Structure 1
Amino acid sequence: MPAVAEMPVASFSSAAPAPAWGGRLATMDRRKRLRLALGVAVLVAVAVAAVVLGRQPDWRVLFANLSDKDGGAVVAQLTTMNIPYKYSEGGGAVMVPADKVHDVRLRLASQGLPKGSVAGFELMENSRFGMTQFQEKLNFQRGLEGELTRSIQALGSVQSARVHLALPSQNGFFREQQKPSASVLLSLYPGRTLERTQIAGIVHLVASSVPELAPAAVSVLDDSGKLLSDSGAAGDAAGAVDGQQLQYRQQLEQLYTRRILDILEPVVGRQNVKAQVTADVDFSQTEATSEEHRPNLTADASAVRSQQTVETTGAAAAGGAAAGGVPGATTNQPPGPSTAPVNGAAAPLAPAAATAATAGAAAATAKPPGKRESITNYEVDKTVKTVRGATGQIRRLSAAVVVNYQNIADAQGKSSPTALSAQQIEQMTALVRETIGFSKDRGDSVNLMNAPFLVDATTQAPELPLWKKPETLELVRSLAWPIGLAVLGTIVLFGLVRPGLKAMAVVPPPAALPAPGLAVGALGGPGATLDAMLSEEPLRPALASPVNAAGQAGLAGAGAAAALPTPTPPEVVPEQARLEGARQMARDNPGAVANIVKGWVNGDAAATPAGA
């Protein structure tokens, strides 16, 4: 056998302690170290981001609709108190963590922030010593305006309000005192309006809060300068009545329309019937007064109210003596002197006087003229009627109804629209008439038509898919960061960190070259190849080959080495470690590998004839 150059004997024993993690990291390839470092850095970044996102506070609104001045004062105070904040809604709202909202709000209120808030009667609590009567009156007026503002802002449609009161000074020396007045400026939320009843409520609220303030002296305006309150003008009153009449008419029409739909929808389907009702309503006010008299038909039915009777029977009854005697100058002569009976007998009358007395006695015995008068007043039946016509009377109703075709399935199960029969239309028309209280004398009309409904695709809002719905998008936004960080961390962990840790776990054996005789036997014998040397086959079984024994004997005879170390059992040295050691030896000492190959070639050449 040709001599092989002597080489130091290599020991594959793993009895030496494994190097530390620092040594393993130093023996790794540069690219592997960079990958491991990058993976660890990304994992640390993901962990920090998860912690930061998990500890992000829930923001709540502290103050909204702040002016620039109040917003700056609030932000400056929050900075002083070391409280985190942020803006929203264009800077009009200041937000702080949810767990600090109430605490911060109380602390800012103790410092009088925001100053734009409405002050009420608490102004009277800060009265200074030596305040004049005018200042006290002014504070009272400001407090009353603030309290009224708070009450008005409690309405749902009112965003903000301002109240101005004009309270004149009362003077006992003036007979006619000036009356107070008030004005209210309202700012409503976008898209909202106030009803007439709400405006009237605001007017009466202000009028009832100020002594001797009449509702007519209260003016209510909106932020566009439009007068909302009724100032007592005839035009405003008429406009209010017109609005109420229109609202009543619309409610009446909607009521009849709803009745028609409720009676027909169970028959033809919810979306297969359309109805409209028009009501002609009489809002005129009439008042009529009538007076009726009923004559007394019978004597028993008559009632005597008053009765008067006048009866004259003679001259005495007429009130004096009747004129008598001979007409002429003789009758105009005065009578003679009369003497009392105690003085003796009366003197005889003159001839003319005797004649007059005789004529008077004759006239007295004549028949007087008769007169009789009777007046009776009876009670007369009288009826007075005053009739006021009720407003809102229905003069005429008109109803229009459209019914869709019915979908009827044929023998093959295919449905097709089919028109209603004349009997069905007549029955539905009768139902509509009974529903609205049809009156022929009133002139009501009902028209029911059967026609197919056209479905307009543009009017139907397409149903959004699941991934485009707002709730789904909101859920994705809330889970995007946690899921993204988890996926990124998983990729980095299994793609960069784990391979680096596995590479660090491999313990390389100490690199040493075996002796020439040992090398051939240890690496496979005469027929071994370089691929076999670099493969994952175990190297320790080759140590017991005949060539290895010859090599050991030659080394012993030459005295190059005292003895080979005891081979380590194969189960002690991992296969990966042995393979890595052989590769490292081939990289570090190519000449030795070449000698080993030469030995394999020579061994093959010597063994071939013997085998033949």
Structure 2
Amino acid sequence: MAVATQPSMVAQLQNFGQLTNSQKIGLIVAVAAIVALFSGGYLWYQTPTYQILYTNLSDKDGGAVINALGTMNVPFKTEGTSVIKVPMDKVYEVRLKLAAQGIPKGNVGFDLLDNQKLGVSQFVEQVNYQRALEGELTRTIEAVSAVQGARVHLAIPRPSVFLRDQQKPSASVFLNLGGGKRLDPAQVSGIVHLVSSSVPDLPTQNITVVDQNGNLLVASDAAGGKAGLDPTQIDYLHQIETSVVKRIETIIAPLVGANNVRAQVTADLDFAQTEQTAETYKPNAVPQEVAIRSLQSSDSGSGAGVSASGVPGALSN
């Protein structure tokens, strides 16, 4: 009975040497492709899947998180300026460890006053109170669905003993609207009244609100220029700008392509109102249709009068 034996290495090399050059190249390429495929699959299998750990972090909190991850030897990736990712199987573990360290801290609020030391000066106490109030307002405004981030700056004047020198507080609100979202006039008005009702003696006219593009959503009356625009006028201004942008893109798009044109329009509308009083008199173009402004009349008469006769004092007189 014949026994089949495996060909020796020398025999295999001899068989390979008998192949043509094209066959040798094809065989080498096939082997290299198989090795690369298996190597890539192995590396892909070994590479961890990253998941979002935190988003919308401030620069200070983002730096603290990255330093903590480096200390814990946890690999991470960053996307943009406010997204940090870690391996999927370590997300919850890392969050618990960072929370134990008080990271991220977020905006300060009234919890800042909990750690205030005894014996601080009145100035430091007032500054801490203002920082805490700004932080609480920021947290509340960021809870609005369309707001990705917010900053609140308060200008609270010192109280004066003279009534004529009393000044009202003012506030500036910066909004970062994510995903191209916009706030309608009712939402902007709600934020304005929220800030006004949270700060004593702060009128709504002293509050300015802008977005991340520098667009003025509502301005204080003291700002001048467009400061007096109410939400309705601002919305009308945006409608005009959007309409002009669409018209420009519609005209240019057929020439350069729909994806090759971008237009931006800044409209400056005059919402000033004037009141005039005029009194006009009709000219006397036609004598028969003369407009009479005033009319005077007098009556006169003449004739002999009847003289009185009889005994003075009698009834006949």
One-letter amino acid of the structure 2 residue matched with residue 146 of structure 1: G
- Displacement, 1:27? 6.4
| 2:159 is the counterpart of 1:166 | no
Alignment check: 8 A CA contact 2:185 2:232 kept: no
Aligned mates of 1:226, 1:155 — CA distance in 2: 19
Deviation of 1:145 after TM superposition, in Å, equals 0.5
TM-score (normalizing by structure 2): 0.55
3-state DSSP of counterpart to 2:66: helix
For the aligned residues, what is the CA RMSD? 4.3
Match of 1:202 among 177, 184, 191: 191
Cα shift readout 1:49-78 (whole Å, capped 9, x = no counterpart):
444433443311223455666555533332
Residue in 1 that maps onto 2:211: 222
Equivalent residue for 2:84, pick from 81, 88, 94: 94
Which residue in the other structure is 1:84 paired with? Answer: 75
Residue 98 and residue 122 in structure 1: after superposition, are their counterparts in 2 closer, same or farther (change >3 A)? farther
* TM-fit CA distance, 1:31: 2.0
TM-score (norm 1): 0.31
* Structure 2 counterpart of 1:9: none
TM-superposed deviation, 1:96: 0.7
Q: Secondary structure at the match of 1:62?
A: strand
Aligned AA (2:229): D
CA shift, 1:146, in A, is 0.8
CA distance in 2, matches of 1:151, 1:138: 20
Instruction: Tell me, in whole angstroms, the C-alpha distance in 2 between the residues paired with 1:86 and 1:241.
Output: 41
Is the contact made by 1:25 and 1:33 (CA closer than 8 Å) also made in structure 2?
no
| Aligned CA distance change for structure 1 residues 149 and 235 (closer, same or farther; 3 Å) | closer
Q: Does 1:53 align with 2:44?
A: yes
Name the counterpart of 1:543. none
Note the C-alpha offset of 1:128.
2.8
Following superposition, the deviation at residue 81 of structure 1 comes to: 0.8
**1:88-142 superposed Cα distances (whole Å, 9 cap, x missing partner):** 34x6522112232233234334445456x32222212222343333322222211
1:586 equivalent in structure 2: none
Are the structure 2 counterparts of residues 43 and 240 from structure 1 closer, same or farther at C-alpha, using a change threshold of 3 Å? closer
Task: Deviation per CA, 1:283-327: give whole Å up to 9, x if none.
Answer: xxxxxxxxxxxxxxxxxxxxxxxxxxxxxxxxxxxxxxxxxxxxx
What residue identity is the alignment partner of 1:75? I
Structure 1 residues not aligned, in runs of 5+: 1-12, 247-366, 368-612
AA aligned opposite 1:103: E
In terms of Rg, which structure is larger?
Answer: 1
* 3-state SS, counterpart of residue 29 of structure 1: helix
**Structure 2 CA distance for aligned equivalents of residues 86 and 234 of structure 1:** 44
Q: Tell me the equivalent position of 1:29.
A: 11
Partner of 2:312: none
Encode CA deviations 1:424-483: one digit per residue, 9 max, x unaligned: xxxxxxxxxxxxxxxxxxxxxxxxxxxxxxxxxxxxxxxxxxxxxxxxxxxxxxxxxxxx
Q: 1:33 to 1:135 in 2, by over 3 A?
A: farther
**Structure 1: which amino acid aligns with 2:158?**
S
Q: How many residues align?
A: 225
Confirm or deny: 8 A CA contact 2:174 2:209 kept in the other structure. Answer: yes
Q: Report the Cα offset of residue 169 of structure 1.
A: 3.3
2: distance between equivalents of 1:130 and 1:206? 30
Once residues 211 and 110 of structure 1 are traced to their aligned partners in structure 2, the CA distance between those partners, rounded to angstroms, is: 36
1:283 corresponds to which residue? none
Query: 1:216 and 1:134 mapped to 2: Cα distance?
Result: 27
* Other-structure match for 1:189: 178
Unmatched tracts of structure 2, length 5 or more: 17-23, 240-314
Post-superposition Cα deviations, 1:322-358, rounded to whole Å, max 9, x if no partner, equal xxxxxxxxxxxxxxxxxxxxxxxxxxxxxxxxxxxxx
Match of 2:140 in 1: 151
Spell out structure 1 runs of 4+ moving beyond 6 A.
32-35, 38-45
* Larger fraction in strand: 1
Query: How far apart, CA to CA, are the structure 2 residues paired with 1:166 and 1:237?
Result: 22
Which residue is equivalent to 1:139? 128
Which residue does the alignment assign to 1:236? 229
Match of 1:491 in 2: none
Structure 1 residue corresponding to 2:97, chosen from 107, 131, 143: 107
Bigger RCO (CA 8 Å, 6+ sep): 1
Q: 2:197, 2:85 → 1: CA distance? A: 39
Give the residue type in structure 1 aligned to 2:50.
W
| Equivalent position amino acid for 1:141 in 2 | Q
